[in-house]
Chains A and B, each alone.
Chain A
């Protein structure tokens, strides 16, 4: 489904680099030709370059701040420096560590779970944080050498605080994902496959004891089947957002079939979406839906695909009518 495509974030970064070169002085003929060739290959590049130039021009207004401007003393600088120190996602967690250490240690002992339909965020003692999706269990065990989290079932987002001395390793089945400071999800699918989506930073994924690690960077994903190579794909920032829609209690159906959608909803609720006709189950549907409302989804699907949604006691049936 996903083709390898340059991510919009990569394009923006390249465009910003070109705008910085222009900011340095008039381009050489060689650079000018290289810029034109680069931009000609994808309209998104020409657009990102235009925006980068616009931002650069906009920032010339910063002269209005005057020569006395001391950015290092600005409150935003202190906040940003602290944030970088702890890496993405760590700051909030670290702030709450101060008041609450101890209490949780006695009650939870490294194990965190959610029931069906629940989402829960749990800071870890190293400043990292984990967000558990529906019906998920993890167990965390940290020592001086390694921060290990076992994903026992379900799906979780990891915002990892930087600690180069202690790698953060998530173990799901025979798949292992290692990060230093980053943000990524790991999901165990119903059919046994393991999916990894990286939001920020870089992680390494490997399987078994001697597996060769594959590096995944931001906006990349990999899905591991029973056997075979780990083949990462670039999915783009929007797809990462979609893959993490569950944090807002939503399901994002991006070209999924109704059958697949029914399985997704079944992760979150005991109210079933029943589809008997395989032709109906193969119809595709796109959109953002509330994970806790399978009935609402069934109604929307019926409306847009010309089906009938019938309410039943433990669920809703979709059919041709």
Chain B
């Protein structure tokens, strides 16, 4: 598998990453016979990273959806139990219209605001290291000196930050269970306070 280059990473950041939440939503609306959306998305990135060139791709978004569809079809054909319906359904998958929806392509300022909120949401040390590296543009070595910690620790903080933001950006900014939590009905109980000491037994 060909590893992504820096140039390809920039292309992915600009043309693919903003559409990942829509891709996930699109995939989640279909019966995928037990295929995991996370796997499909990762394999889609792998294929896009390994392409010889991308300058011929006019509409990266449509291209991304077609790649994801090919991953779905290949996986469905490979798996042993497939409801016929799922395969037929996948064959007929139509990527959503090529127009980017307004909520997915945020303006530069909006996107900057979103990045600010995501960085702010990191744990304190990680947030500090990440800010020095990505906002102030210090190298990891300079960040280590500034914070009085080892370069390895800075690398860990940066890795943690990238990991959190990978999840947030791919899923559209919220934790993956946020929606369901927000609509939970709230009612409260107070539990018994048993005067006897209860021990694990």
Chain A residues packing against B (C-beta within 8 Å): 8-9, 11-13, 15-17, 19-21, 23-25, 35-36, 39-40, 43-67, 69, 71-72, 74-77, 79-81, 84, 89, 92-93, 96-97, 100-105, 108-110, 112, 120-125, 129, 131, 139-148, 167, 169, 176, 178, 199, 209, 236-239, 241, 247-248, 254-255, 284-288, 303-305
Tell me which of A45, A60, A145, A305 contacts B199 (CB under 8 A): A145
B197 A143 Cβ-Cβ under 8 A: yes
Which B residues touch A145, using CB under 8 A? 197-199
> Which residues of B sit under 8 angstroms from A72, Cβ to Cβ?
120, 124, 127-128
User: Residues 12-40 of chain B: 1 if any A CB is under 8 Å from the residue's CB, otherwise 0?
Assistant: 11001100000000000001011011110
A55-B83 contact given A46-B3, A71-B119, CB 8 Å threshold: no
Dominant secondary structure at the A interface: helix
Query: B137 near A: Cβ within 8 Å?
Result: yes
Alpha-carbon distance A145/B166, docked complex (angstroms): 39
Number of A-B contacts defined by CB within 8 Å: 313
Question: In this assembly, does B42 line the interface, its C-beta being within 8 Å of a C-beta of chain A?
Answer: yes
Q: Which residues of B sit under 8 angstroms from A56, Cβ to Cβ? A: 9, 162
Decide yes or no whether B98 CB sits under 8 A from chain A: no
Given the known A-B contacts A69-B116, A122-B187, A255-B34, are A12 and B16 also in contact in the complex, defined by CB atoms under 8 Å? no
The interface on chain B, measured as residues whose beta carbon lies within 8 A of the other chain's beta carbons, has a size of 94
Given A23-B140, A65-B112, A121-B187, answer yes or no on A167-B120 (Cβ-Cβ < 8 Å).
Answer: no
Q: Could you say which residues of chain B place their CB within 8 Å of the CB of A144?
A: 197
| Residues 173-201 of B contacting A (Cβ, < 8 Å) | 176-177, 180-181, 184-194, 196-201
Q: B49 and A47: CB pair below 8 A?
A: yes
B46–A71 touching, CB < 8 Å: no
Q: A63 contacts B116, CB within 8 Å?
A: no
Name the residue on A nearest B35 (C-beta).
A238
User: With A19-B162, A20-B155, A47-B49 known to touch, is A57 a contact of B13 (CB < 8 Å)?
Assistant: yes
